[in-house]
Amino acid sequence: RTVYLNGDYLSEEDAKISIFDRSFLMADGVYEVTSVLGGKLIDFAGHATRLERSLSELGMQKPEAFDDLLEIHRELVRLNEIDEGMIYLQVSRGSAGDRDFAYPSDDVKPTLVLFTQSKPGLADNPAAKVGIKIISIEDQRWGRRDIKTTQLLYPSMGKMMAKAAGCDDAWMVEDGNVTEGTSNNAYIVKGNTIITRHLGNEILHGITRAAVLRFAKEAQMKVEERSFSIEEAQGADEAFITSASTFVMPVVEVDGAAIGTGKPGNIAARLREIYLDESR
């Protein structure tokens, strides 16, 4: 695989960064995941805008190549012949050549890394036909979940807890309400109304979320942006998640309770279809 590191296209074996890089020592990095369908980038502009915001919220310098990111994404898709898959991008505050809690001075340049992940069959994921099972766990992450940082240990733990329970993913709960999934936004459906948590510092402002809510409104579905509890989810007609890597994925079970008929709901299936059609 050919990857990108600070201006160079290299084979993955040759791409090396310092052990003092702050993403390694402090999780002082931000990232984006952009999906690729039919060799085409999905919602690149949204991901670039969110990246810019993450950098600015953390007072991190923009990498010099920021304005070339679209070109770099396209070049990696080309070099690695990606038809369906993802591009991972990470910016860290770089390496000051030692460990220090204080940020380094501005002459330390950020580290920019991109790599591709080929996922043939991403759009035709068989899981979308049967739906996924969710457990709930307490949300123990930090308070700025609107910034897409590389501090992903708790979401990883959540995935492992879900797996241990024979499920696919976890929804995190804070003050009695669902914030979001380990790496996705969470939704329930009641009648013709789609309910998903309002934006704030408590959740990541999903790029897929924004697109799906727009498509839902265009298709005359109702959208309510508000908190909901696990109990409300268990009594809902449908549930689903969204992210760049899952698009729209139906949820059929939450903490052992079947949602609706226990099969993927019509609205979730329809939104997945619309999203994929509009993206391809």
Residues assigned a catalytic role: 148
Q: Which residue, among 53, 69, 81, 97, has the nearest Cα to 4 in the 3D structure? A: 69
CB closer to ligand PDD out of 111 and 245: 245
Applying CB under 6 A, among 22, 93, 159, 209 the residue interacting with ligand PDD is 209
With binding defined as CB under 6 A, does residue 151 bind ligand PDD? Answer: no
**Binding pattern for the stretch 228-247 against ligand PDD, x by CB under 6 A and - elsewhere:** --------------xxxx--
Cβ atoms of residues 148 and 31 within 8 Å: yes
CB closer to ligand PDD out of 108 and 137: 137
**What is the smallest separation between the CB atom of 243 and ligand PDD, expressed in angstroms?**
4
Applying CB under 6 A, among 208, 230, 260, 264 the residue interacting with ligand PDD is 208
CA angle 262, 266, 267 (to 5 degrees): 115
Binding positions for ligand PDD, 25-54, rule CB under 6 A: 33
Please tell me the distance from the alpha carbon of residue 170 to that of residue 181, in angstroms, as a whole number.
Answer: 6
**What is the smallest separation between the CB atom of 207 and ligand PDD, expressed in angstroms?**
4
Q: What does DSSP say about strands 247-254 and 132-138: parallel, antiparallel, or unpaired?
A: parallel
Of 94-102, 118-126, 159-167, 205-213, the segment contacting ligand PDD by CB under 6 A is 205-213
Of 66-74, 97-105, 204-212, 219-227, the segment contacting ligand PDD by CB under 6 A is 204-212
**What is the smallest separation between the CB atom of 228 and ligand PDD, expressed in angstroms?**
16
User: Residue 252: left (phi > 0), alpha (psi -120 to 50), or beta?
Assistant: alpha
With binding defined as CB under 6 A, does residue 204 bind ligand PDD? Answer: yes
Please tell me the distance from the alpha carbon of residue 117 to that of residue 77, in angstroms, as a whole number.
Answer: 10
Of 2-10, 75-83, 190-198, 202-210, the segment contacting ligand PDD by CB under 6 A is 202-210
- H helices present in the chain, as ranges: 22-26, 44-57, 69-79, 127-130, 153-164, 207-218, 230-234, 266-279
How far from 5 is each of 30, 93, 222, 261, CA to CA, in Å?
15, 14, 44, 48
CB closer to ligand PDD out of 144 and 222: 144
Nearest-Å Rg of the Cα atoms of the chain is 19
Q: What is the DSSP letter of 141?
A: S
Please tell me the distance from the alpha carbon of residue 172 to that of residue 122, in angstroms, as a whole number.
Answer: 25
**What is the smallest separation between the CB atom of 35 and ligand PDD, expressed in angstroms?**
8
CB closer to ligand PDD out of 111 and 242: 242
**Binding pattern for the stretch 164-183 against ligand PDD, x by CB under 6 A and - elsewhere:** ----------------x--x
Which residues lie near ligand PDD (CB under 6 A)?
33, 180, 183-185, 204, 206-209, 242-245
